[in-house]
Amino acid sequence: MKRASPSELVSDWPDGQSDDPIARVAQQFVLNLVDAIGEQSVRAVSREAGIDHATLLAVLAGRSWPDMATIGKLERALSRNLWPTGVSYR
C-alpha cells in the first residue's frame, strides 16, 4: 500500500487543515522552510544544502516526505532549526 504524500493529507497544502498528526509535522516543517528560504531561490538553497533542486521542490509542494539527511542538510545550509517543536500528535 502506497503511503499518501503530505499534500494528499492536508487540504490546501501547506496552509490548510489536516486530521493526520504526522502530516501536520510535515506541514509545519515546510512552513518553517519557506520562511527560512525567504527571498533566496530554490536552486541557490539546494546548491548550498547539497541536494537536488527537484528534491527541494517536491518537499515544498508536499509531494514527498523529507528524509533526515535532507532535513539536516537544509538546517545546516539555512543556519536554522526547521524541525517543528510543539506540534500536537493527537
| Chain segment 40-86, per-residue pLDDT in tens | 999 999 999 999 999 999 999 999 999 999 999 999 999 999 999 87
- The predicted model scores a pTM of 0.91
CA distance 35 to 30: 8
Name the phi and psi angles at 64, rounded to 5: -145, 155
- Largest pairwise CA distance in the chain: 38
- Residue 89 pLDDT more than 80? no
The residue to which cell 527571498 is assigned: 39
